[in-house]
Every structure is written in C-alpha cells, then in structure tokens.
Amino acid sequence: MILFALILQATPNQMLGFLPIVAMFGIMYFLVLLPAQRQRKQTKEMLANLKNGDEVVTNGGIIGTIFSINNEDQSLVIRVKPDAVKLRFARQSVASLLLPEGGEAKK
C-alpha cells in the first residue's frame, strides 16, 4: 500500500522532468528540421523542372546555360561563356537557378 502511494506520487514529478526534453525536441523540429525539409523539397522541385536554356549556378560556382539534359543518367551539359565551352555535370550539382532578368539566384 505504501509502495503504491509512492509510485503515484513519483509519476507527476517524472513527467515534469521529461517536459523540458520534449519541449527542446519540439523547438528543434520547428527551427531546424522543418525548414530543412522545405528547402530539400524546393531543391528537388527545382532540379526536376530544369529545362534547356535555363541559366544555372553549380555547387562549384560555375555559371552557365543548360545546353542539353540527359534523363537516363541524370546529367546535363552546361554551356559556359565567353567561348561557349560545354561542360557535363550531374543534375544534383546544380545549386540554384538564375532568374532570366539576371536577378538574384533562386534555390
């Protein structure tokens, strides 16, 4: 009987002990994980919607225009100015898509 009373008294204290940990995970989810998921989704959509003529920036910082896209091996050929050199990249190496007006990059 005394043991049962001690268990009932200890349970609310233990739950209050876990509350800060649960709150920390909730805050981390909303501040870190949720925005990262949104950014991954936007990047995936951007990579799926690439087309010939789009001006892109690669992860290495190379700026060029997409010349052709090969969907079989997920690669694309980028034409780089001024000599119209053509370079082949993996589709995932595209970091961002430049706006047609020459504005800032869109990720």
Q: Which backbone phi and psi does 4 adopt, to 5 degrees?
A: -60, -40
pLDDT at 107: 55
Q: Are 78 and 87 in contact (CB under 8 A)?
A: yes
CB 78 within 8 A of CB 56: yes
The model's pLDDT over 1-30, given as tens digits with 9 standing for 90+, comes to 565 665 555 556 666 777 888 889 889 888
Strand-pairing partners, residue 94, are 58
pLDDT at 51: 92
pTM: 0.66
Average pLDDT, stretch 71-81?
Answer: 92
**Angle CA(103)–CA(106)–CA(107) in degrees, nearest 5?**
160
Count CB atoms within 10 A of the CB of residue 78: 23
Work out the number of other CB atoms within 10 angstroms of the CB of residue 76: 26
